[in-house]
Structure 1
Amino acid sequence: MVKSYFLHGGTEVFGLVASNTSNSLFDGKRVFVPALEDVYVWDVKRGELTGMWHATGHYHPVTSIARSPSDPDRFAVGYQDGSVRIWSSKSKTETAVFEGHRRAISCLEWDKDGARLASGAVDGEVIMWDVAGESGLFKLRGHNNRITGLVFLSGSTPVSDPSSSTSLPPPSTHLLTTSQDTYLKLWDLETQHTVESVIAHRTESWSVTVIPPSSRSDGQDPDGNVEDPMFLLITTGGDGEAKLWTLSSNILINGPQRASNGQGFKRAIVHIGNLALNTSGAHGKRVSGATAHHYTLRGGISGIAIAFQVGDRSVEVWRIRSVEEVKKKQARRKKKEAAKTRKSGEKKDSEEKKDTTDAEQTVTWLDRLCPWIMLRGSGKIASFAFPPTSNLALFPSAERPAELQILLALSNNSVEVMSIPRPTTSAKWASLEAENLYKVALPGHRTDIRTVCLSFDDQLLASGSNGSLKIWNLKTQKCIRTMECGYALCGTWLPGNKHVLIGTKDGRLMLYELSSCALLQSCEAHTGAIWSIDLRPDGKGFVTGGADKCVKFWNFTAKKTSVEPVNQDNSDTTSFSQKTLSLSMSHSKTMKMSDDVLGVRYSPDFKFLAVSTLDSTVKIFFQDTLKFFLSLYGHKLPVLDMDISFDSKLIVTCSADKNVKIWGLDFGDCHKSIFAHEESVMRVAFESGSHYFWTVGRDKLVKYWDGDKFENIQTLTGHHKEVSSLAVSHNAKFLVTDLMAVRQQKLKESGKEGEVEEAGAVLKQTAETQMAGEKIIEALNLAAEDLEAFANYQSVKASMKDPAMAKKLAPPARSAIFSAFNNISAHAYVLKVVEKVPRPALEDALLVYLLHKPLDLEGTNHKTFALRKRIQGWSIPLVCRILFFLLRTHESQITATNGLKTSINSIQKKLSTRLSKHREMVGYNVEAIKFLNQSLDLQQQGKRFFDDPDLKSVDEIRGMIGNTQKRRKVVI
């Protein structure tokens, strides 16, 4: 007889603020942070979660996030499986999916106009994507290690738009890449080849940032070269250095140029010096990030800030000084040196003075760069980000921020926003201190969760980690209480759901009351870590087991104690104690063991006590007399957890030897030994009222078992690290593991997983593309059958001599699929199926065809371009894309087939006509959009004019006139 089981699926992930697998972004109000496989949007001022981007059925962690410079609501998110998804922050939905990388995405970079996207992966490949066309353009292969930096470059000036007051960004012609293979490469995007390669650092290169000549406020280069303005490049590496480079604009525009001596070519990238970072040196820390930020503050203050992540907890911020500021500093230094010379009475030659004067007048990039402030996070810094300032110039000066803000995403599951004070020339940079404006930390733990336990009504959840105990409402998934504690290892709720008992690593027992957030009692229970706590079935006491080889028994009592409130937000509010009647615990007896105690468990019938020890055995005692009853041995490594079934007949144990054993409590016989996980099995728990049980392990899996048939019912995935805690509800309807959601089981599981060209096609065959190709083939076969049946019907009808009989001839029956789509034509049905294929996967799906399939599709396209009124609304770009891809792929077969030349020529003529009409329509729409943008700019300019705070109202003008000594008649 077939036995049915309940299928379990994931519900929610809570207790997560931000993970450290990717970079984070900041727009001044919201932060966009990675949250395992999702992206969370936090309002940092209110500390609330305002959005979550989740791709259904996708469980790979986020590894990179990038925001489009042209559309602030469009984001590119890279994942560990190599996919790139385009998200809309308004609708919180994905608009496109790109599949091309075989390894995890390491960095993303948008083009200035937001039309193209460059993605770098761990395997050293860079792919250029056409975002509008939703397709891959080409693949760049030149690095042999992780891509760490991508920057688009353009040597041309911005293009002026006659229909708008703003200028369009210049088209990007080159790409700058850095990798952990120590190389800095400059790529020509037109030829798809390397222009120049430079060894940037002695060890791996971690980042690159570019300051173009057009972005500098004074527009001056230190060398004064107006004919060839230089890009300033800054690279960082694992050797603790930040290096400065210059890049020639003329080489970007005109290509490689001969050297002045006529031998070889000029170097496009030239090293000009190193920055002396505060914590770097010969054995300095790794400089893992660099970002150049153009800021505009209140009062018209603007400039360029450059931030470096130095080590794990520091961000060092530098700024670029103007040439005038540097010359003033040189003049002050010269005066001081002259005063010293006069005081010491020393005289120097005129030649030395002249050389010194000439050297001081020369301004270099090292002179213009100066340190600003050192920022230190409260934890290890995963990434940092500045808010965008591209639109701040449009706002009045009073609405701009007073100080520069920066986001620090920390590795301890929190984010904080800091305010950087304005730069001053008088104060030393080391004396400046940043202010912590906002912090999102309460919704999660700072360290790994070691214990979770559910209340008896399954409404509340307690979770403990190193330093904090949190109480969660399971309906809202929000933290309602946060209390300080030691290093929590185990815990349990007490009857009444008003108290929580925690055992810590230092051997303390801590009893908390939830209503007042008070620590009722804290006692030194064991001299070692408390590994396990179990409540007595009668609810009058509990038992603990610790690393001091003791099993201790405790009773609950009521007594008058002094209640001390626990500070939840670390504020300096005055606390007070109050005498009240509260719950207390008292030690009753102790049982000594031969080894460390790892677990204790009462049987539900209150007859036995099971104790697991470090010698890999489980000993069963009678709970009333503590007389030895059974010894369960068979595990090769210590038993980490155990549980007893509701009827006290079975006991299940899990061990670090990756096995789960099911024992009978009547004779102590082993019913079954199961190899349950690929790593250590950390926790095991029975479901209430059954012999089904759950296990979690270090292999990131959660498994559901039948204890009677010894079968694995279900395996749940979703965790991205080892699972160390488990709690099953009392109503057997859900379970909680480490506060991370257990995602729903996948229906289908996939199988286990010399010199190359610099550029190549972007192709990646997946199960989805295979299915899409099969659907297209099925549609073509169905359309061919329908067309053939209709052609036979027409021929039979034409061959009939009696017109009356010909009219009565019934047409052939069509497939039910055509009827489901409102009896559409065969050609329209094929196009409808093709339109449902995702654009990035279209070319991969077309590769499924055999040779005769593209010929059939070309015939279909030939009929598609027939000038009929009923096909005027068909997608011309899609049909052209299919046709051009098939022509490129099967060029040799098509040229060898003489019968296709006539069809190709016919398609070319009709395609040219249709594309001309389509081009005219697009041009008309573009001009209409330009007109609308121009009207919108005029409206915004008028609004800013009338909103100017310097403008005086009519009443103010009249008051000013009235206060004058001589009155005059003024008409307003």
Structure 2
Amino acid sequence: MGVTSQYLRYESGPVFGLVGTGRCVRFVARFSQVGKFLAVPACERVLIWDLRRETKVLTLDGEVRGVVTVVEPRPPAPGSLDNTHLAAGYSDGSVVVFDLMTGEPLKFTGHRGGVSSLCWDPQGMRVASGSDDGEVVVWDVVSERGMVRLRGHRGKVTRVRFMQGRNVLVTSCRDTFIKLWDLETHHCFRTLTGHRAEVWDFVLLKNDSRLVSGSGDAELRVWALHFLDGKVEVKVEVEEGVEEPPSKVFRLDTEGETKPDVQLGDQEIKDDASIVEVTRLGSILRSRGDRVCGLQSDGRVVACHGKGPVVDLFLVLTEEEVATKAAKRAKKERKRARDAGGDDTVSASNDGPQLADELRKLPTLRAANKLLGVDVVSERDGAVRVAALHNDNSLALLSSDVTAKEPNKETERRDPVRVLGRPGHRTEVRAVAFTSLSDQVVTASADALKVWNRGDTQAVVTVPCDAATSLVVVPGDRHALVGTRSGRLQLIDFGTSEVLEDIVAHEPDETAIDTGVWSVALTHDGRGFVSGGSDKMVKFWKFELVRDESSGGKRLSFMQDSRALKVSDQVACVRCSGGGKFLAVSTLDLKETIYFMDSLKLCHELYGKSLPATCMDFSSDGTLIVTGSKDSSLRIYGTDFGDQRRLLKNAHQGGVTDLHFIPKTHMFFSCGHDGSVKQWDADNFQRIVTLEGHTGIVRCLAVCPRGAWVVSGGQDRSIRLWERTQEPLVLEEEREEELRRKEEEEGGATATQRRVVPGEDGAQAVRPSVTTHHTEKAADMILEALSVYREQVESGGKAEPHYLMTYVYRTNDPLRLVMEVLRRVKSSELEEAIMVLPLDRVLEVLVVVLGMLGRGWAVELAGRVLVVALRVNLPQLLASITAKPVIHALAALLPKKMQELEDMIGFNLAGLRHLKDRAEQRSETQLFVEASQRVKESRRRKKKKDRAVKRVLMTL
């Protein structure tokens, strides 16, 4: 196998142009600053933005093949305001926990569908994730493993939230149910069935005593939760002939089979066997009738938004405010009754607090565009900050106040405090180009043209323009020429950020449906350009210097040449060869025509496509031309005879959108609807490498003049740079690597075929882990270590030490070798790795665990491995004569070692608490001494000042 040194690998470089994607935005507290930093998903990354400086302070990449769907910061520790970690859910089912100080990721894999919701427990030790597959998994962040998988919903889980004062998890789903799970028994003990449509979100308020849920209508339903402490008297009417006593165990809701008696209106839901009483308090109306897309609350203010740009705010009143408001309302009712001449006594039910006394509507906020997500935070002075993520790749910070009154409709909209949109385009990127020095990248979309510095990926110039369809950088790197959908040509100056020329270049007739300048190409000498549009004309233009009336100097302009070419249909693409010999024109009548540049005479006509060609390009020497079509194929032609050298079928699924040759080579890049960028060799007709990263259609790409950089832009509004490295690329090895990745993806799809474990069939709570290629690798490592251990034990220590013992783990003890291998397996993968081991190897694992416990090595790890191995293989082990003495020895040794470990941890914990108390006492004493010294110093200065004043008075 020879190394093909002519191929160098392209790797992913910087990604910019993104402000926020997905449907989630969260406030993050850093350096004790609340309401300043925002965490938003950006395709496969998470961005932390500084709103005040409008800069990106941190980029978190979990190296996961999927896009971020939801983010959730860890609650601050007691005595702190900062969020130390951030959890992110991905579309491939992964959950990644990032350290906000170092950016290190911790990855969990356990879902078959995309993660739809995340939540931290109040202590920040566990993360609960809900998925599109209807399952909820609780992860232990400290031990880095899954705790339990909860099954019961039938549909997408829309929200998961922990209760603050109880070990209870609340989940909602599109199956119209809200379930309450006891995380100690892993059981669903209550199901709310008061919704007739999908439950999209909910929040818990007032120390988990109120639940506000949003569905597909204009109402927010409010529920009162009251947990019953102690025993509950169960009163159930028993039918005649049925002697079975009522039992709480039989009333547990497992799969939603038992439906509680739901009475409509604001009455209580009858379910006497539950430990919680749920009462429907009523509903509060939103300002819009669309479905609820998100509910967020910081405990004081509730923010709700739908599909539109409106954010509804509701203030949660304190107990004192509720009592005051209820008293005022009762006083007004008594006065109204006296004025009416009736009895002024008001019933006791009306004197009590009502729903209107607990929640007060604040002024509605209106954003500049449709919303994808909101977050709310209230400050001590009563100010309310609302972060809004728009669907046009921008962020906004809206403001309100808890004392604000409901305004009129004319004053409903408030100007945002800050808008973060400069680092990206509002619409998808349609055209991209490099400058001649490759130090800047120029992009154009439907709203603006931007110039980016390639080094720091910052936008240095932003100029509003029409909807762009094509773009070229004029020689000199100071101007850009943009062809627009309205049929105009715009010449933009980078230095002054002005549009110098704006003329109608291609104006179609009245019968035409599509309009626009679809393609612009520079001539070989750079003194002019060629444009083609919907008027079935190819026009020639040349640059010239004209006098600027405003400044009195000269500026660049262009004028139409006397030549023009009439074609048979609308022009889709035009290109000029490098030597200035040929002009290629692609039209919508399924053909490309090559003309001589000087005489515009026909040279070749290229046929054979089922759909029009959307892009084409000449090689630098002008001997090859490649065309890309909507029929997903690439065609390579020779310009000498117009012969088709090769047809590359299924190059891009859905169609090819753009392609460009690498200068001075016969290699080219192409992009398409499948979201990938591919490199090809036009000499041997092989695909070199596939670059993946975009989400959605890749609309355009450009290759720098030196070929060291490739830039692409597309539907996800991201601009991605691909950098050429000095690493040689071997085609055979690249194909093997692609085949391996494909097998891993297929293996990930079949990982849902879970191993059968006794007790899990039909249960609500099952194991959280799944089998992946990582767990299979871990199992192979364990098997290899067990083989070495068996060889060393059977030889009695006379065998030559294995290379794993000598060079890798540097130990002479085979038992320590197995222990080190078990330690290096990720905690989240250890359970599945033990489960896939064959039965004879499980016996060896039990022997190894017995040896580890006997020596007191890694007692916690040994206990965890033992529990998993016994749980999965218990029937077979009980029937095995060989395993019986080992199990008896483990049963006698494990409790003793666990008790020793527990005693050691308790002793250390007590010692740490003692040291903490002593440190606090010393600090308090020191603070008291310092305060006393400051008071004495202040008094001394005051006496000195008084004496000085007295001396001055005596002198006078």
TM superposition score category, shorter chain reference = 0.7 to 0.9
User: In the alignment, residue 312 of structure 1 is paired with which amino acid?
Assistant: G
User: In the alignment, residue 9 of structure 2 is paired with which amino acid?
Assistant: L
1:373, distance to aligned residue in structure 2 (A): 2.1
Q: 1:22 to 1:340 in 2, by over 3 A?
A: closer
User: In the alignment, residue 818 of structure 1 is paired with which amino acid?
Assistant: M
2:193 maps to 199
From 256, 277, 281, the equivalent of 1:272 is: 281
User: In the alignment, residue 884 of structure 2 is paired with which amino acid?
Assistant: K
Q: Is the 8 A contact 1:150 1:175 kept in 2?
A: yes
Q: Is the 8 A contact 2:532 2:571 kept in 1?
A: yes
The DSSP-based 3-state class of the residue aligned with 2:867 is helix
Pairing 1:749–2:741 present: yes
Pairing 1:770–2:776 present: yes
The DSSP-based 3-state class of the residue aligned with 2:282 is strand
1:116, distance to aligned residue in structure 2 (A): 2.3
**Hey, what's the Cα distance between the residues in 2 that align with 1:956 and 1:522?**
77
The DSSP-based 3-state class of the residue aligned with 1:625 is coil
Q: Is the 8 A contact 1:374 1:430 kept in 2?
A: no
1:74 maps to 85
1:643, distance to aligned residue in structure 2 (A): 0.4
Q: 1:293 to 1:761 in 2, by over 3 A?
A: same
Pairing 1:288–2:293 present: yes
Pairing 1:712–2:687 present: yes
Unaligned runs of 5+ in 2: 78-82, 239-245, 247-269, 508-514, 714-718, 725-733, 754-760, 951-956
Pairing 1:583–2:556 present: yes
1:953, distance to aligned residue in structure 2 (A): 9.4
Pairing 1:305–2:301 present: yes
What pairs with 1:310-389 in structure 2 (closer than 5 Å)?
310-322=306-318, 325=321, 347-350=340-343, 353-355=344-346, 358=348, 360-387=350-377
Q: Under a length normalisation based on structure 1, what TM-score does the superposition of the two structures give?
A: 0.83
Larger CA deviation: 636-645 vs 742-751: 742-751
What pairs with 1:729-748 in structure 2 (closer than 5 Å)?
729-738=704-713, 739-741=719-721, 748=740
Q: 1:84 to 1:330 in 2, by over 3 A?
A: closer
Larger CA deviation: 451-460 vs 39-48: 39-48
1:185, distance to aligned residue in structure 2 (A): 1.3
From 42, 46, 61, the equivalent of 1:39 is: 46
What pairs with 1:400-799 in structure 2 (closer than 5 Å)?
403-424=383-404, 436-527=416-507, 528-562=515-549, 578-589=551-562, 590-675=564-649, 676-738=651-713, 739-741=719-721, 748-751=740-743, 752=746, 753=749, 756-791=762-797, 793=798
The number of aligned residues is 861
**Hey, what's the Cα distance between the residues in 1 that align with 2:96 and 2:334?**
63
**Hey, what's the Cα distance between the residues in 1 that align with 2:850 and 2:113?**
40
**Hey, what's the Cα distance between the residues in 1 that align with 2:41 and 2:616?**
35
Q: 1:622 to 1:439 in 2, by over 3 A?
A: same
From 48, 53, 57, the equivalent of 1:50 is: 57
The DSSP-based 3-state class of the residue aligned with 1:785 is helix
1:330, distance to aligned residue in structure 2 (A): 6.4
What pairs with 1:102-181 in structure 2 (closer than 5 Å)?
102-153=112-163, 170=165, 172-181=166-175
**Hey, what's the Cα distance between the residues in 2 that align with 1:535 and 1:597?**
16
**Hey, what's the Cα distance between the residues in 2 that align with 1:6 and 1:286?**
52
Q: Is the 8 A contact 1:242 1:275 kept in 2?
A: yes
Q: 1:425 to 1:703 in 2, by over 3 A?
A: closer
The DSSP-based 3-state class of the residue aligned with 2:846 is helix
**Hey, what's the Cα distance between the residues in 2 that align with 1:360 and 1:512?**
70
**Hey, what's the Cα distance between the residues in 1 that align with 2:675 and 2:151?**
34
The DSSP-based 3-state class of the residue aligned with 1:205 is coil
Pairing 1:237–2:215 present: yes
Pairing 1:885–2:868 present: yes
1:653, distance to aligned residue in structure 2 (A): 0.7
- Aligned-pair identity in percent equals 29
1:90, distance to aligned residue in structure 2 (A): 0.8
Q: 1:97 to 1:325 in 2, by over 3 A?
A: closer
**Hey, what's the Cα distance between the residues in 1 that align with 2:946 and 2:484?**
77
2:884 maps to 901
User: In the alignment, residue 587 of structure 1 is paired with which amino acid?
Assistant: Q
Q: Is the 8 A contact 1:716 1:743 kept in 2?
A: no
1:163 maps to none
2:256 maps to none
1:362, distance to aligned residue in structure 2 (A): 3.0
2:900 maps to 917
1:801 maps to none
Q: Deviations along 1:497-537, whole A, 9 cap, x unmatched? A: 12111111112222122223232222222223111110011
1:803 maps to none
Q: Is the 8 A contact 1:452 1:462 kept in 2?
A: yes
**Hey, what's the Cα distance between the residues in 2 that align with 1:354 and 1:960?**
66
**Hey, what's the Cα distance between the residues in 2 that align with 1:427 and 1:662?**
66
Larger CA deviation: 96-105 vs 753-762: 753-762
Unaligned runs of 5+ in 1: 155-169, 214-229, 295-303, 393-399, 563-576, 794-811, 968-972
From 847, 851, 866, the equivalent of 2:854 is: 866
Q: Is the 8 A contact 2:433 2:702 kept in 1?
A: yes
Q: Deviations along 1:198-233, whole A, 9 cap, x unmatched? A: 2343221111111144xxxxxxxxxxxxxxxx7110
Q: 1:243 to 1:340 in 2, by over 3 A?
A: closer
The DSSP-based 3-state class of the residue aligned with 1:772 is helix
1:248 maps to 226
Q: Is the 8 A contact 1:258 1:265 kept in 2?
A: no
Q: Is the 8 A contact 2:388 2:396 kept in 1?
A: yes
1:157 maps to none
**Hey, what's the Cα distance between the residues in 1 that align with 2:777 and 2:122?**
36
Q: 1:41 to 1:914 in 2, by over 3 A?
A: same
Q: Is the 8 A contact 1:774 1:848 kept in 2?
A: no
Q: Is the 8 A contact 2:43 2:68 kept in 1?
A: yes
Q: Is the 8 A contact 1:719 1:741 kept in 2?
A: no
Q: 1:938 to 1:483 in 2, by over 3 A?
A: farther
Q: Is the 8 A contact 1:24 1:34 kept in 2?
A: no
Q: Deviations along 1:76-98, whole A, 9 cap, x unmatched? A: 2211111112211111101x322
Q: Is the 8 A contact 1:371 1:429 kept in 2?
A: no
Q: CA RMSD in A?
A: 3.2
**Hey, what's the Cα distance between the residues in 2 that align with 1:666 and 1:944?**
90
The DSSP-based 3-state class of the residue aligned with 1:449 is coil
**Hey, what's the Cα distance between the residues in 2 that align with 1:247 and 1:930?**
36
The DSSP-based 3-state class of the residue aligned with 2:795 is helix
User: In the alignment, residue 363 of structure 2 is paired with which amino acid?
Assistant: I
**Hey, what's the Cα distance between the residues in 1 that align with 2:927 and 2:222?**
40
Pairing 1:822–2:828 present: no
Q: 1:327 to 1:778 in 2, by over 3 A?
A: closer
Pairing 1:100–2:110 present: yes
The DSSP-based 3-state class of the residue aligned with 2:446 is strand
1:910, distance to aligned residue in structure 2 (A): 3.6
User: In the alignment, residue 35 of structure 1 is paired with which amino acid?
Assistant: A
1:439, distance to aligned residue in structure 2 (A): 3.0
